Amino acid sequence: MPKRTGPRDTAKDIILGLEPSGQGPREPREGRMSAVPKPPPPRPRPIPVAPVTPLPQRDPLIDQRLAGTERTTKGMMDELARLQAQLRDYQNQHAQAISNE
């Protein structure tokens, strides 16, 4: 298709059915065409890092209380196991007594 050099149609010309009255194509500018500068790529945001703080010193009183709690818990667990075994024995005796009747 040959390049158009004459006047161009405008919307008004087309609607009213008139001859083209718009401006023709403009002449290219002299010189070198400059490229549109690209924006710099976005930098990744740095990930915040929590500062390293030293661990606090252990309190001997807390250690003593913890050891006492562990001893108490162990004693309670031993007593619970003994009572569960005793309950099983009673249940077995009861089951045998019922089956012997």
Structurally, the chain folds into a number of domains equal to 1
Per the domain annotation, does 78 fall within a domain? yes
Q: Which residues constitute the domain of residue 101? A: 74-101
Per the domain annotation, does 90 fall within a domain? yes
pLDDT of 78 above 80: yes
Looking at the chain, which runs of residues are DSSP E strands? none
Instruction: Identify the pLDDT of residue 33.
Output: 66
If pLDDT is split at 50, 70 and 90, which confidence band does 59 have? confident
Per the domain annotation, does 87 fall within a domain? yes
User: What are the pLDDT digits (tens) for 8-53?
Assistant: 677 777 787 777 777 766 776 676 666 778 888 889 888 888 888 8
Per the domain annotation, does 101 fall within a domain? yes
